[in-house]
């Protein structure tokens, strides 16, 4: 059919089964917004900042497993969105982001609101397109959704000049894609898989190292099955939280810079790392030469570039982790769970020696208590987003996650300001769950304007602000490594968070005690509108354990033991 | 990464489309890889071009370069050459003097000749292995070359 470029965008979104789009209009994208106005097939959510539109699309995608979609205008609209693109790129979140561009005839003339968008997005997207003719749009849109969602997922950016959105051309979305140069390898090599299984059967102290790729691949069921069948203990990366349920006896905890003592010691003592969809990030490995020093490494990853990038893999397996684990399951009868009993005991001794815990030894509430308490009260009924900082690490350590896609947080880029808009996207994707954002007094101000979006769209996100009057994570480093010179991290001057929320039509609470917290949380859930619950917490609490940057995993700073 | 830096030639087959070259050069600069030389030309009767990139790095870095290149969507194939035939061309402009025959003989030893004679200058061309080109350029300094252009290497696996 012959339609305009703008109509093509709408038709493609409908064909891709998109139900929610996040965005912000402006000159170059107005033709598309005019078509959005005319349709009823999907909902458009107007955020109050383009960065927030991308994070909301990320949250939406992470919670639903679908491709997130966002729409923005040229120039400042696009540049505001760049942080979001980079965030999605680092965390392998599938997005299609469509931006307007000045008309073709003006490109290169320093036109009003012109910026080389594809030049900027090239290094922070999986792929990008500048559309120069509407007749290419069907193919490009279809490719974009395909590339975003397959292989190692990631954001795809499409930049469309204004005249192309007005141009009439032929549109046929049933076209077959022929991406000769893009063929992700999804089936693992059977010989390599067999060798890996033999290595597992031979190992005395094997350890599963579970990563975010399992969540991307929707492979948690298979992985749970495999872990239980083999009786091999497991550590999770930050991005993998929820792959195993918190109450699984084989789950040790998170490993890495703020991993548990047992998880980091298990990684240091293992003789075989079974890496599934994890990328050996520096926050995880600490000093590379000391990481899992006595172990062979099995590494299953869909991205060959992740394999042997930092840690040499003895058994590299390129493939989709769901397929590979299924194949491994079929061969797992040789693996004898009983054999690893002493190893499991060693690990539980580690855990008894230094369990992941905290002391309630101050007048002020401890932030960890708040997180644990929400876990007790809401558990599986909540989806959990976070901002970036100490509160983020405590959430990863202390929230009892029970399923994949329950936890969304900016891991790779560590973007303050991610949490609130992401939680809005999460609520839009799964309205039946309570959407909580654990945030800090620093981070929340980086996208607090999204109160307006949440009020307008009736998306009752509950923001729990763990207020320590500090840029806490940076303050912790200053305390520990900069001789307590707390340079520019003291946030004693603050807004009235209660009034701030109320000014937008949300609800606000300031709480100092356990009772007040319980009451506020209950009330916020009952009232069912967007809320700020400001919790005054201990200012000088540190996230422990901690592996100082570049140190070895087994050299952790630990929580001081209390005299009984 | 303290392993030794090795010179490597990588050939890349890419779809001929806008900005594909910047995707590649951005990848090198963004990830801190070296480019010693880079040549591109379309492959006849196809929608592809062939790039020859001369780079250097440790074994691990070279492996990452080929993998990261392969990840770029419009890239069809990446060859990291082990056993290859490699050639490079150079053009050199000399002032006219009594040495023309010397220069000509020298060029012949490097698969070349004098390709243009003007009023005040001559232009010579040589085509040979990059290492030999280096050598040639060293030798001819005594003839006071005014300008030198090198093409960068092209290579084919044996
Ligand atoms: C302040 C701060 C502190 C942090 N501290 C820690 C810490 O202590 N511990 C920690 O773990 N993290 C920590 N992080 C997070 C860290 O930066 C990384 O984001 C995280 O470790 C990466 O997790 P991952 O290895 O699971 O990889 P992800 O980023 O989730 O990458 C997924 C991997 O799986 C692959 N993959 C994707 N899809 C598939 C598929 N279908 N099949 C197979 N493979 C697939 C990808 O190619 C990639 O290699 C911290 C972050 C911040 C901001
Ligand atoms: C956009 C951005 N700027 C700066 C940083 C560096 N940074 C990491 S954590 C942090 C402090 C966050 O403070 P707050 O939100 O109050 O959380 P807390 O650590 O106190 O829990 C900062 C500044 C960042 N991650 N992101
Ligand atoms: Mg704080």
Note the ipTM here.
0.91
Q: For CA atoms A84, A87, A89, A93, give the dihedral sign.
A: negative
Do A59 and A417 contact (CB within 8 A), yes or no?
Answer: no
- Please name the residues in contact with A274: beta carbons below 8 A apart, sequence gap of 6 or more: A196, A200, A206, A207, A208, A209, A232, A298
- Residues A312, A413, single domain; the answer is no
Q: Which residues of chain B does A182 touch, with a Cβ-Cβ cutoff of 8 Å?
A: 73
Do A305 and A241 contact (CB within 8 A), yes or no?
Answer: no
- Residues A330, A376, single domain; the answer is no
Give the CATH number for residue A389.
3.40.50.970
Instruction: Report in angstroms the alpha-carbon separations of A422 from A16, A90, A428, A432.
Output: 22, 15, 10, 16
- Residues A155, A280, single domain; the answer is no
- Please name the residues in contact with B98: beta carbons below 8 A apart, sequence gap of 6 or more: none
Closest CA to A358 of A554, A547, A537: A537
Q: What is the DSSP letter of A133?
A: -
In the CATH hierarchy, which fold is given to the domain comprising B85-157? Alpha-Beta Plaits (3.30.70)
CA dist., res. A492 & res. A471, Å (int): 10
- Residues A154, A259, single domain; the answer is no
**In this structure, CATH architecture of domain B6-82:** 2-Layer Sandwich (3.30)
Q: Does residue A416 line the site of ligand 2, with CB under 6 A?
A: yes
Residue A112 annotated as catalytic? yes
Do A267 and A292 contact (CB within 8 A), yes or no?
Answer: yes
Q: Where in chain B is the domain with CATH 3.30.70.260?
A: 6-82
> In residues, how long is chain A?
564
Q: Give the domain range for residue A226.
A: 190-353
Q: Where in chain B is the domain with CATH 3.30.70.1150?
A: 85-157
CA dist., res. A308 & res. A280, Å (int): 9
Phi, psi of B151 (to 5 degrees): -90, -15
How far away, in angstroms, is A283 Cα from ligand 1 center?
Answer: 9
Of A126, A274, A284, A544, best ligand 1 pocket probe by most atoms within 8 Å of the beta carbon: A284
Of all protein residues, the one whose alpha carbon is nearest to atom 8 of ligand 2 is A389
CA dist., res. B24 & res. B17, Å (int): 12
Read off the tokens for A163. Answer: 């005249």
| The domain boundary residue, chosen from A298, A323, A353 | A353
| The domain boundary residue, chosen from A118, A135, A170 | A170
Q: Does residue A390 line the site of ligand 2, with CB under 6 A?
A: yes
Q: Is A252 on the interface with B (CB under 8 A)?
A: no
Q: What is the DSSP letter of A106?
A: G
Task: Please report whether residue A556 resides in a domain.
Answer: no
What is the pLDDT tens value at each position of chain A, 564 positions in all?
A: 999 999 999 999 999 999 999 999 999 999 999 999 999 999 999 999 999 999 999 999 999 999 999 999 999 999 999 999 999 999 999 999 999 999 999 999 999 999 999 999 999 999 999 999 999 999 999 999 999 999 999 999 999 999 999 999 999 999 999 999 999 999 999 999 999 999 999 999 999 999 999 999 999 999 999 999 999 999 999 999 999 999 999 999 999 999 999 999 999 999 999 999 999 999 999 999 999 999 999 999 999 999 999 999 999 999 999 999 999 999 999 899 999 999 999 999 999 999 999 999 999 999 999 999 999 999 999 999 999 999 999 999 999 999 999 999 999 999 999 999 999 999 999 999 999 999 999 999 999 999 999 999 999 999 999 999 999 999 999 999 999 999 999 999 999 999 999 999 999 999 999 999 999 999 999 999 999 999 999 999 999 999 999 999 999 999 998 865
Q: Which residues pair with A71 in a beta bridge?
A: A23, A98
Structurally, chain A folds into a number of domains equal to 3
Q: Express the helix, strand and coil content of chain A in percent, nearest 5 each.
A: 45, 20, 40
3 state SS of A392: helix
Residue A511 burial by CB count (10 A; 0-12/13-18/19+): exposed, middle or buried?
A: buried
Do B149 and B115 contact (CB within 8 A), yes or no?
Answer: no
Element spanning A342, H or E: helix A341-353
- Residues A296, A381, single domain; the answer is no
Task: Report which bound ligand comes closest to the CA of A55.
Answer: 2
CA dist., res. B24 & res. B70, Å (int): 10
| The domain boundary residue, chosen from A321, A353, A385 | A353
Task: Please report whether residue A18 resides in a domain.
Answer: yes
| Residues bordering ligand 3, an ion, CB closer than 5 Å | A 440-442, 468, 470, 472
Q: Which residue from A122, A180, A305 is facing B68, i.e. has the nearest CB?
A: A305
């Amino acid at each position: 059919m012959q339609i305009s470029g703008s109509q093509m965008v709408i038709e493609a979104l409908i064909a891709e089964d998109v139900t929610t789009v996040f965005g912000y209009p402006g000159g170059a994208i107005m033709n598309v917004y005019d078509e959005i106005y005319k349709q009823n097939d999907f909902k458009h959510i107007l955020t109050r900042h383009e960065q927030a539109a991308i994070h909301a699309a990320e949250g939406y995608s992470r919670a639903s497993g679908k491709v997130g979609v966002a729409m923005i205008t040229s120039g400042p609209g696009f540049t505001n969105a760049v942080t979001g693109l980079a965030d999605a790129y680092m965390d392998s979140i599938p997005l299609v982001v469509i931006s307007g561009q000045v008309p073709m005839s003006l490109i290169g003339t320093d036109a009003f609101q012109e910026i080389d968008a594809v030049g900027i997005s090239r290094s922070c997207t999986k792929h990008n397109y500048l559309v120069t003719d509407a007749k290419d749009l069907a193919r490009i849109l279809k490719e974009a959704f395909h590339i975003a969602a397959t292989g190692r997922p990631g954001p795809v950016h499409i930049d469309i000049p204004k005249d192309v959105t007005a141009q009439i051309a032929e549109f046929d979305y049933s076209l077959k894609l022929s991406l000769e140069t893009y063929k992700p390898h999804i089936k693992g090599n059977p010989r390599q898989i067999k060798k890996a299984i033999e290595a597992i059967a031979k190992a005395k102290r094997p350890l599963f190292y579970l990563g975010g790729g399992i969540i991307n691949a929707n492979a948690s069921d298979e992985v749970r099955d495999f872990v239980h069948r083999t009786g091999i203990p497991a550590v999770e990366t930050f991005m993998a939280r929820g792959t195993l349920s918190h109450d699984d006896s084989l789950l040790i905890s998170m490993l890495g810079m703020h991993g548990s003592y047992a998880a980091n010691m298990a990684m240091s003592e293992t003789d075989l790392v079974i890496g599934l969809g994890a990328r050996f990030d520096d926050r995880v490995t600490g000093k590379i030469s000391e990481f899992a020093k006595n172990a062979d490494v099995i590494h299953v990853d869909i991205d060959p570039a992740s394999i042997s990038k930092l840690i040499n893999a003895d058994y590299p397996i390129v493939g989709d982790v769901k397929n590979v684990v299924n194949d491994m399951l079929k061969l797992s009868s040789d693996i004898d769970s009983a054999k690893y009993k002493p190893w499991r005991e060693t690990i539980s001794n580690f855990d008894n020696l230094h369990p992941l815990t905290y002391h309630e030894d101050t007048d002020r509430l401890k932030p960890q208590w708040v997180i644990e308490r929400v876990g007790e009260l809401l558990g599986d009924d909540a989806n959990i987003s976070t901002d970036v900082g100490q509160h983020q690490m405590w959430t990863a350590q202390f929230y009892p996650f029970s399923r994949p896609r329950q936890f969304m947080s900016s891991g790779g880029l560590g973007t303050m300001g991610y949490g609130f808009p992401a939680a809005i996207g999460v609520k839009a994707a799964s309205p039946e769950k309570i959407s909580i954002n654990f945030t800090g007094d620093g981070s929340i101000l980086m996208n607090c304007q999204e109160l307006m979006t949440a009020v307008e769209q009736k998306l009752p996100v509950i923001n729990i602000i763990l207020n320590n009057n500090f840029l806490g994570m940076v303050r912790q480093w200053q305390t520990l490594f900069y001789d307590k010179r707390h340079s520019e991290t003291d946030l004693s001057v603050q807004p009235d968070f209660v009034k701030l929320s109320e000014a937008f039509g949300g609800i606000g609470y300031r709480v100092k005690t356990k009772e007040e917290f319980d009451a506020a949380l209950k009330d916020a859930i009952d009232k069912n509108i967007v809320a700020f619950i400001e919790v005054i917490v201990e200012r000088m609490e540190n996230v422990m354990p901690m592996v100082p940057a570049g140190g070895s995993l087994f050299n952790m700073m630990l929580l001081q033991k209390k005299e009984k | 990464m303290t392993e030794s830096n090795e010179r490597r030639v990588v050939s890349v087959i890419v779809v001929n489309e806008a900005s594909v070259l910047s995707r590649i050069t951005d990848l090198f600069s963004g990830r801190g890889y070296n480019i010693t030389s880079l040549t591109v030309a379309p492959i006849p009767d196809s929608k592809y071009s062939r790039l020859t990139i001369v780079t250097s790095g440790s074994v691990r870095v070279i492996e990452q370069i080929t993998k990261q290149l392969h990840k770029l969507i419009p890239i069809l194939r990446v060859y990291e050459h082990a056993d290859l035939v490699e050639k490079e061309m150079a053009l050199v402009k000399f002032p006219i003097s009594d040495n023309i025959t010397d220069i000509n003989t020298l060029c012949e030893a490097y698969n070349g000749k004098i390709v243009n004679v003007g009023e005040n200058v001559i232009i010579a061309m040589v085509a040979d292995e990059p290492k030999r080109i280096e050598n040639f350029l060293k030798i001819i300094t005594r003839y006071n070359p005014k300008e030198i252009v090198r093409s960068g290497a092209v290579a084919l696996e044996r």
